[in-house]
A and B are shown apart, each in its own frame.
Chain A
Amino acid sequence: MRRWLGSLRILATIAFATLGAQALTLQARAEDQSIVVASTTSTQDSGLFGYLLPIVKQKTGVDVKVLAQGTGQALDTARRGDADVVFVHAKSAEEKFLAEGFGVKRYPVMYNDFVIVGPKEDPAGVKGKDVATALQAIKAKAAPFISRGDHSGTHIAELKLWKDAGIDIGHDRGSWYKEIGQGMGAALNMASASNAYVLSDRGTWLAFRNRGDLTVLVEGDKRLFNQYGVMLVNPAKHPQVKTDAGQRFIDFLVSPEGQNAIAGYKINGQQLFYPDANDPNA
Chain B
Amino acid sequence: MNDFAQAFETAASLIADFDVELRQIVGVSLGVSLTASFLAFLIGAPLGTALAIYRVRGKAGLVVVANALLGLPPVVVGLAVYLLLSRSGPLGSLGILFTPTAMVIAQAVLGIPIVIALVHRMMVDVWARYGDALLVDGASRFRAAWPIMAIGRDGLLTAFLAAFGRAIAEVGAIIIVGGNVRGYTRTMTTAIALETSKGDLSLALALGIILVILSMTVSALSFLIGRILDGR
Residues of A within 8 A of B (CB): 1-2, 4-6, 8, 12-13, 16, 19-20, 23-24, 27, 31, 36, 41, 44-45, 49-50, 53, 65-68, 80-82, 182-186, 188-189, 192, 207-211, 238, 240
- State whether A80 and B87 are in contact (beta carbons under 8 Å apart), knowing that A186-B197, A240-B95 are contacts in the complex: yes
5 residue pairs bridging A and B, Cβ less than 8 Å apart: A53-B182, A80-B87, A81-B92, A189-B199, A210-B200
Complex Cα distance, B7 from A166, in Å, reads 46
Q: Which of A12, A31, A36, A67 has the most CB of B within 10 A?
A: A67
Apart from A12-B42, A66-B181, A80-B88: 19 A-B pairs, beta carbons within 8 A: A1-B150, A6-B146, A8-B229, A16-B42, A27-B101, A36-B98, A41-B197, A45-B198, A50-B182, A65-B184, A67-B179, A82-B98, A183-B197, A185-B196, A188-B199, A189-B196, A208-B198, A209-B201, A211-B199
Check if B197 sits within 8 Å of A45, measured CB to CB: yes
Check if A27 sits within 8 Å of B99, measured CB to CB: yes
Residues of B within 8 A of A (CB): 31, 35, 38-39, 42, 86-89, 92, 95, 97-101, 146-147, 149-150, 153, 179-182, 184, 194, 196-201, 229
Check if A81 sits within 8 Å of B87, measured CB to CB: yes
- B62 shortest CB reach to chain A, Å: 24
Check if B179 sits within 8 Å of A5, measured CB to CB: no
Check if B147 sits within 8 Å of A1, measured CB to CB: yes
Complex Cα distance, B197 from A186, in Å, reads 5
Q: Which residue of A lies closest to B100 (CB)?
A: A23
Question: What chain B residues lie within 8 Å of A80 (beta carbons)?
Answer: 86-89
Complex Cα distance, B42 from A183, in Å, reads 38
Question: What chain A residues lie within 8 Å of B87 (beta carbons)?
Answer: 80-82, 238, 240
- B165 shortest CB reach to chain A, Å: 19
Q: Which of A13, A81, A184 contacts B86 (CB 8 A)?
A: A81
Complex Cα distance, B196 from A209, in Å, reads 9
Complex Cα distance, B36 from A19, in Å, reads 12
- B110 shortest CB reach to chain A, Å: 18
Check if A81 sits within 8 Å of B98, measured CB to CB: no
Question: What chain A residues lie within 8 Å of B149 (beta carbons)?
Answer: 5
- A62 shortest CB reach to chain B, Å: 14
Check if A65 sits within 8 Å of B181, measured CB to CB: yes
Q: Which of B35, B42, B89, B179 contacts A65 (CB 8 A)?
A: B179
- A103 shortest CB reach to chain B, Å: 16
Complex Cα distance, B35 from A208, in Å, reads 35
